[in-house]
Every structure is written in C-alpha cells, then in structure tokens.
Amino acid sequence: MCGGTVCDVREGKDVKALVDFARDKLEYIDIWINNAGSNAYSYKPLVETSDEALIEVITTNTLGLMLCCREAINMMWNQPRGGHIFNIDGAGSDGRPTPRFAAYGATKRSVVHLTKSLQAELQMNEVNNVVVHNLSPGMVTTDLLMSGATTKQAKFFINILAETPDVVADYLVPNIREIPTNQSMKPTYIRFLTGLKAYSRIFSRIAFGARRNKYVAED
C-alpha cells in the first residue's frame, strides 16, 4: 500500500508531521534522505538576484536541511534500531566557486559542515545508534540543472558530467541500503561522480569528442 503526504521542509510543523506520518505508516525510519533543494531556477550574478530567490534558496537548502535532520535524529535515537541520515551535497560542497548561483553553492558548502557537526554532537551525547552521512549524486539531468544550460560552458559540462536520475539511482541506492544491512555505524561519503571519473570524461571529450551534444546541443 502506497501513500504520501505534503511537506514544506522550510516549516518545522510540516517536517514533524512527515515524521509522524512515516511512523504511523512504517513504524520505523531506517533511512532518511535529505534531498529537497532549490536554486530558485535563478542563474545570474548575486548582485542581480532578487530577495525572493535568495530567501527560497537559503530557507530550503539550509533551514530545511537543519529542520529535517533535527526531526529525523529525534525519532531515530528513540527507536532501538536507530537509523541513518543522508545529506545530499551539490555544486559548491567542495569549496569551488559557483558563479551564477553563488547562494546555492554557499548553502551546499554548509551541508558538509552540518553533517560533521551533527556527527560530533551525536558522539558528544553518546548516541551510538544514529549516523549522519553525505551523498554526492554529481550532476543529474533534472529540470533544475537543465534550466541553467544557457551558456557554452554550462552545456559543455552538462554533456560531459551529467547523468539521468535512473543511472545515478542505480549506483546510489544499493550503496545506501548496504549500510544498515551490514549494521555499519561509521559515517560515509558516497560519491557517484568521483574526481577520477570526472577527469576521465573531460579527457575523453577533449581527446575524442566523447559525449558531445549528449543532452543539449552545443554551439
């Protein structure tokens, strides 16, 4: 039996209601993935970005992540089997600049810091049955990403590095499920697009023209 509920991650009451819904339907939450994110479909310099766009990006990506982590941890450490929380990173997580979506990059840089801080807090409170991890899906051909394919550079890197959601999921999901199955309580950082894979694709493109026009027509 399938079901669902509406949740605005920027509203604490909505996130609490989501946890209650999951508890009622599933009894336990073994895996919680914080995937909600936004760049307000805005690709422009910060000086041209509206207040509304900035508020949407920051409240969704930072406040929303914190609220979801808080509620997931509160539930998980009160269930005997504990649980695993996965925070999804994004462009900017590694500290590299993200021109045209600076606010998004800044919020994603904070994801890694928050994960480490939560790990430290759990250890400090001697909570041994809840672990916070990071997930890195790389570039995924969502509407959010493709809406930014408006420059020569963006088209170049989307064609080289991006993958469709099903390809990314086929890699990430088994790796996520393996962690509770193996009863591992060690924080992990699961990456789909590794540095080696990225550099290999760039080389293949430059040397052999691989993946040219794969998703978008290049100039």
Q: What is the pLDDT of residue 183?
A: 83
**Domain total in the chain:** 1
- Which residues span the domain enclosing 180? 29-154+165-193
* Paired tokens of 67: 């609220």
Residue appearing with tokens 């290999």: 200
Residue 102 sits at the vertex; the CA angle it makes with 109 and 163, to the nearest 5 degrees, is: 70
Please classify residue 202 by burial: count the beta carbons closer than 10 Å to its beta carbon, then call 0-12 exposed, 13-18 middle and 19+ buried: middle
Q: What is the pLDDT of residue 2?
A: 64
Q: DSSP string covering 144-210, please?
A: HHHTTTTSHHHHHHHHHH-B-HHHHHHHHHHHHHHHHHTT--S--EEESS-HHHHHHHHHHHHHH-T
Contact 116, 125 (CB under 8 A): no
Q: What is the pLDDT of residue 181?
A: 84
Instruction: Tell me the C-alpha distance between 197 and 75, whole Å.
Output: 37
* Full pLDDT tens readout for the chain, 219 residues: 567 899 999 999 999 999 999 999 999 999 999 999 999 998 999 999 999 999 999 999 999 999 999 999 999 999 988 999 999 999 999 999 999 999 999 999 999 999 999 999 999 999 999 999 999 999 999 998 999 889 999 999 999 999 999 999 999 999 999 998 888 889 999 999 999 999 999 999 999 999 999 999 997
By annotation, the residues acting in catalysis are 104
Q: Around 122, how many Cα atoms within 13 Å sit in the side-chain half-sphere?
A: 28
Please report, for the domain that includes residue 58, its CATH number.
3.40.50.720
Q: Around 28, how many Cα atoms within 13 Å sit in the side-chain half-sphere?
A: 12
Instruction: Answer whether residue 213 is part of any domain.
Output: no
Instruction: Answer whether residue 200 is part of any domain.
Output: no
Cα 106 to Cα 58, 77, 79, 100, 205: the distances in Å are: 9, 30, 34, 12, 29
Instruction: Answer whether residue 111 is part of any domain.
Output: yes
Give the amino acid at 44. Answer: K
Instruction: Answer whether residue 78 is part of any domain.
Output: yes
**Strand partners for 31:** 84
Instruction: Answer whether residue 206 is part of any domain.
Output: no
Residue appearing with tokens 């929303």: 64
